[in-house]
Amino acid sequence: MTRLYNDPAEFAGEVLDGFVAAHQRWVRRVPGGVVRNTAKTPGQVAVLVGGGSGHYPAFTGLVGQGLAHGAVSGNIFASPSAQQACSVARAAESGGGVLLLFGNYAGDVLHFGHAAEILTQQGIPTKAFAVTDDVSSAPADQTAKRRGVAGDLTVFKAAAAAAEAGLDLDEVYRVAERANDRTRSLGVAFSGCTLPGADAPLFTVPEGKMAVGMGIHGEPGIGEADVPSADGLAELFVRTLLADLPSDITDVRGQRAGVILNGLGTVKHEELFVVYRRVAQLLAEAGVEVVDPEVGEFVTSFDLAGASLTLFWLDDELERYWTAPADAPAFRKGSLTPAPPAPEDLAVESAEQTVPEASEESREAARVVFTALEAVRKVIDGNADELGRIDAVAGDGDHGIGMQRGAVAAVDAAREALRLGAGAGTLLALAGDAWADKAGGTSGALWGLLLRSIANTLGDKEKPTAAAVSEGVAAGLENVLRVGGARVGDKTLVDVLAPFAETLATAVGESRGLTEAWGRAAEQADAAAKATADLVPKIGRARPLAEKSVGTPDAGAVSLALITDVVHGVLAERKGV
């Protein structure tokens, strides 16, 4: 149980406030996260790490000399937005480019990837890299599909030490890639975690059993076993990881490895030491020489009772970076010369917002779009708990909360845009950007993209026609497919968006008005959302839990169908746009 909180919605922000207040020697707060509070080294690559909140010391606790230059911090269990990553990167960079490092989760991949594009376009060369160390989340021949868990730390540490050593961006990226290729982790859990404000755990593990292959969001494991002794757990960990070696290691005898025994929440240091005692014996028996082992909490999941073991197979270069000194709030090694405090004022510019000139017809349409967004906010509010419940079956249970944050932000941005006299296109674009920024997560990125795609075809000059709306939805579908990489049948919101876009285009092609065409498409969307219950997920967080998800519809598909339905209501009331 997470007992100490104020307003659960404010939890992530308040964690950051307290963390910064307690660690001013290392960090300062900037919009989107934290950066080092020490002077920059001109020309050094800035290594930024990031992800959702709820995993301390990942990610903010790893900011400091020898480790990350900054951390981008999302809401609980939801990736931060591209806007947040850009803001932290601008504050942290010092002319050598930026490397963004994060675990391999759809939302993180989308937002950090987008941030890398934006920053590079703006003249800050930036690369993004996703860590994939969790052996239980995909087979050895599909390592790119694996999740990032406690092995985040070995990759962050190696890349950051390479940056500190003066390597350029391409070289630091190469080191991150090499460290990731040589990192493997396995986790287990004995009970689930409860998010602040929730009255039940996100998942449960039967009494006396442990979930094997547990992820850091409490994604249920790939198997279940009786709770073993401490030695039994050490044996499971070591046996599994020695059977999943990097491709360039055939014999472990004589190899050197960094080791992390990580507590995921409520497992005590004493228990970890008992497990580590046997891990060390087993590795020694296998002929593996352990270098700088770490036993403690490095990536957590609230009150999840669980642990993970990470092996980091070293070569000379990786060993140099693994053992290099570091000084961060939650990770210290060796000794280094303290850098002077940051002298510069990192205050981020906040420009007065303006909107492009719009025609009266487009401003009239903007009022309808605003009403539609308000209706979206209401329907999401009313269904947030149910969306969270559906998402928890095979995901991380945050879909309702994420959609709520996005919809609220979109309405606020749209209200401000109306006040400034925006046309329909600009209003929807600003609403989409705010949605992506405040929601984070996979659906935040995709909803931002979808709204922006529609906004682009509406523009601010013409009265939006049914054809323009339909083209915008089609462009949105194309962009979601391109960026998200899902296909129809993968059990995502694409399974609703595709038939919705197709039905809308057909009905508009038959010269139906927007309201009627949208109504037909919304009916189709509702049926398509229900039909996702029969599908087996092939992408995203639900994939490793494919069978568990059958019988429950996809959360993102359901929320999209709800939204198309309420927007139809608004159009019908207004007799079309």
Ligand X SMILES: Nc1ncnc2c1ncn2[C@@H]1O[C@H](COP(=O)(O)OP(=O)(O)O)[C@@H](O)[C@H]1O
User: Which residues here bind ligand LAUYXW4J, judged by CB under 6 A?
Assistant: 51-52, 55, 77-79, 102-103, 105-108, 217, 441-442, 541
Is 568 marked active-site?
A: no
For ligand X, the closer CB: 47 or 486: 486
Query: CA-to-CA distance for 228 and 242, rounded, in angstroms?
Result: 19
Q: Is 486 in the site for ligand X (CB under 6 A)?
A: yes
Nearest C-alpha neighbor of 77 from the set 199, 239, 204, 219: 219
For ligand X, the closer CB: 220 or 395: 395
What angle (nearest 5°) sits at the alpha carbon of residue 538, between those of residues 536 and 541? 100
Query: CA-to-CA distance for 269 and 431, rounded, in angstroms?
Result: 46
Which does residue 485 bind out of ligand LAUYXW4J, ligand X, none, counting CB within 5 to 8 angstroms by kind?
Answer: ligand X
Rule CB under 6 A: choose which of 494, 501, 525, 563 binds ligand X: 494
Tokens of 561: 């169908």
For ligand X, the closer CB: 92 or 545: 545
Which does residue 103 bind out of ligand LAUYXW4J, ligand X, none, counting CB within 5 to 8 angstroms by kind?
Answer: ligand LAUYXW4J
Q: Is 546 in the site for ligand X (CB under 6 A)?
A: no
- Phi-psi region at 513: left, alpha or beta (left = phi > 0; alpha = psi -120 to 50): beta
Q: Is 485 in the site for ligand X (CB under 6 A)?
A: yes
Query: CA-to-CA distance for 172 and 96, rounded, in angstroms?
Result: 11
Q: Is 375 helix (H, G, I), strand (E, B) or coil?
A: helix
Q: Binding pattern to ligand X, positions 104-123, x when CB under 6 A?
A: --xx----------------
The active-site residue, picked from 69, 217, 399, 568, is 217
Amino acid of residue 144: A
For ligand X, the closer CB: 63 or 411: 411
Nearest approach, Cβ of residue 527 and ligand X (Å): 16
Nearest C-alpha neighbor of 576 from the set 526, 509, 527, 508: 508
Residue bearing tokens 């909360």: 401
Which does residue 568 bind out of ligand X, ligand LAUYXW4J, none, counting CB within 5 to 8 angstroms by kind?
Answer: none
Query: CA-to-CA distance for 253 and 268, rounded, in angstroms?
Result: 31
Which does residue 446 bind out of ligand X, ligand LAUYXW4J, none, counting CB within 5 to 8 angstroms by kind?
Answer: ligand X
Backbone dihedral angles phi then psi of residue 398, each to the nearest 5 degrees:
-105, 10
Nearest approach, Cβ of residue 184 and ligand LAUYXW4J (Å): 18
Query: CA-to-CA distance for 65 and 334, rounded, in angstroms?
Result: 12
Nearest approach, Cβ of residue 197 and ligand X (Å): 17
Nearest approach, Cβ of residue 241 and ligand LAUYXW4J (Å): 22
Find out whether 570 and 246 touch, Cβ atoms under 8 Å. no
Q: Is 441 in the site for ligand X (CB under 6 A)?
A: yes
DSSP state for residue 257 in the 8-state scheme: E
Q: At what angle do helices 514-531 and 555-574 cross, to 10 degrees?
A: 160
Query: What are the residues whose beta carbons fall under 8 Å from the beta carbon of 552, sequence distance 6 or more?
Result: 390, 393, 394, 533
Tokens of 468: 């323009």
For ligand LAUYXW4J, the closer CB: 108 or 516: 108
Q: Is 265 helix (H, G, I), strand (E, B) or coil?
A: coil
Of the candidate spans 40-48, 59-67, 277-285, 553-561, the one that interacts with ligand X by CB under 6 A turns out to be 553-561
Nearest approach, Cβ of residue 419 and ligand X (Å): 29
For ligand X, the closer CB: 329 or 476: 476
Amino acid of residue 469: V
Closest CB to ligand X: residue number:
556
Contacting residues toward ligand X, per CB under 6 A: 78, 106-107, 391, 395-396, 398-399, 402, 441-443, 446, 480, 484-486, 492-494, 539-541, 554-557
Report, as residue numbers or ranges, the catalytic residues.
217
